[in-house]
Structure 1
Amino acid sequence: MDDIDKGILRVIQEDTRTGYQEIAKRLSIAPSTVHFRIKKLINMGVIERFSAILNLEKMGYMTIAWIGLSCDPDKIDSVADILASFDQIQMVCTASGDHDLLIQIVAKNEKDLWRFINKNIKTISGVEKDFDVSCFLDVYKKTNSIVV
């Protein structure tokens, strides 16, 4: 990956709606170069997808939480796969530390969060009874961008 690729990535991290013409203008390259390079970055797996970042509160999701789960060691992968199938769960990760899995989940409110936990998470075979829930209060930074 060279400086042109990195420049393109910086621009599209700011706003994925930026057109090839505008990217080309900012980087002083031809629009066809932008098109070719983006296609190459997609094929390399550097760009996984283009998506909109939604304001969760304006979409009615007032509760965001991290849940730390401990699992039967033989069932961690199957538990993670089940958790990943739920739309409300934004991220599922294996983790070092006190828990085997960490998940990020969104809910309309705390009552919906606990309803989801009781109905969907506690009932998964392999999930141990004790788990930690930390609800987000104030978000000071939220980004998917990285330094390129």
Structure 2
Amino acid sequence: MLDQIDTLILHQLSKNSRLSYVDLAKEVGLSRVAVRERIDRLIEEGIIEQFSIVINAEKLGKKVSAFLEIDVEPKYFESVAEMLMANQKVAVLYQMTGPCTLHMHILVEDHQALDRFLRDSVYSIEGIVRVESHILLRRFKAQDGLNI
């Protein structure tokens, strides 16, 4: 169970995972060693899964963010999911409830790259019945992980 200090540590790390133990200790009112022990425990318990960075895809030339809804024949579900997961362009792949089997997010350079990706990496996979694509126009909010 998380106490108030653990919650504060998680909140601070979710804003900046590069905070040093010393800076974090000042924020939460504990010693550096106590903060390190708490973080180690949070990692060991699986509450903290990883420390990561957020990369600006547009600055790396990935100007098109597309969300794909993919219907898959049930007997091909696992093999289709494995093939899509192996593709470097796939940022996120979810199985969700509703009319579509898989929901996928990809980042590509332009509309031509999206077309190539669909033709070469999606339409050619056996078991895919239907693909519907949606292109992001504007992002209002994006966050990774849980808001603490």
Please indicate the TM-score interval, normalised by the length of the shorter structure: over 0.9
Residue in 2 aligned with 1:56? 57
Residue in 2 aligned with 1:8? 9
Q: Give the deviation of 1:84 after TM superposition.
A: 1.0
| Runs of 4+ with >4 A deviation | none
Q: Which residues of 2 match residues 99-118 of structure 1 at below 5 A?
A: 99-118=100-119
Residue in 2 aligned with 1:134? 134
Give distance in 1, aligned partners of 2:37 and 2:63.
41
Point out where structure 1 has 5 or more consecutive residues left out of the alignment. none
SS in 2 for 1:58: helix
Point out where structure 2 has 5 or more consecutive residues left out of the alignment. none
1:10-67 C-alpha deviation (Å, 9 max, x unpaired): 0000011111101100100011111111111111111111111011111110000110
Q: Give the alignment's Cα RMSD to 1 decimal.
A: 1.1
**TM-score between the two structures when normalised by the length of structure 2:** 0.94
Give distance in 2, aligned partners of 1:145 and 1:89.
18
Give distance in 1, aligned partners of 2:28 and 2:139.
33
Give distance in 2, aligned partners of 1:126 and 1:32.
53
Q: Give the deviation of 1:146 after TM superposition.
A: 2.5
Give distance in 2, aligned partners of 1:20 and 1:82.
40
**TM-score between the two structures when normalised by the length of structure 1:** 0.94
